[in-house]
Amino acid sequence: MKLQATPSSDQHVIVAHGPGWVDIDGRHYRRSVLITPTAIDADWGPESFGALDEAHLAALADHAGDVWLLGTGSQQRFPPPQVLRVLIEAGISVEIMDTAAACRTYNILVAEGRATLAALIIE
């Protein structure tokens, strides 16, 4: 699904997404990725939702922001409490949704000027 006609030059935006991929600023990603308006971490993330662990979420706690999004793949799935513990202990609330919804929500929040982080699981 194409989300935006042209990428913004001063902020990272999600241009399109589909099963098994996401396009950020015109670059195709086929594995899990972490995106903020000012940074992309293509090395973040598990190969699948089942591989998500505390270390992946600990990387989110290293970023400042107003809103944290977790895209859990093709469907919304909730990680076990022990995996979420690192964020809970850091006082970080994360919105959990499927990856397509996280892509759309990320762009809306960035367009509003919100400091947003999206951790997108690409399966």
Q: Enumerate residue ranges in the chain where pLDDT < 50.
A: 5-7
Token duo for residue 61:
């706690």
- pLDDT, tens digit, for every residue of 48-68? 999 999 999 999 988 888 999
Please give the helix or strand (H or E) that residue 73 lies within, else none: none
Please give the helix or strand (H or E) that residue 97 lies within, else none: strand 94-97
pLDDT at 2: 53
Phi, psi for residue 70 in degrees, rounded to 5? -125, 110
Q: Left, alpha or beta for 20 (phi > 0: left; psi -120 to 50: alpha)?
A: left
Rounded to the nearest integer, the mean pLDDT of the chain is: 92
CATH class in words for 31-120: alpha beta
The SS3 assignment for 76 reads coil
CB–CB of 103/2 below 8 Å?
no
pLDDT at 9: 59
pLDDT at 64: 86
For the chain, the structural domain boundaries read 31-120
CB–CB of 18/115 below 8 Å?
no
What gap in Å lies between CA 31 and CA 39, rounded to an integer? 16
Q: The whole model's pTM is what?
A: 0.91
CB–CB of 28/42 below 8 Å?
no
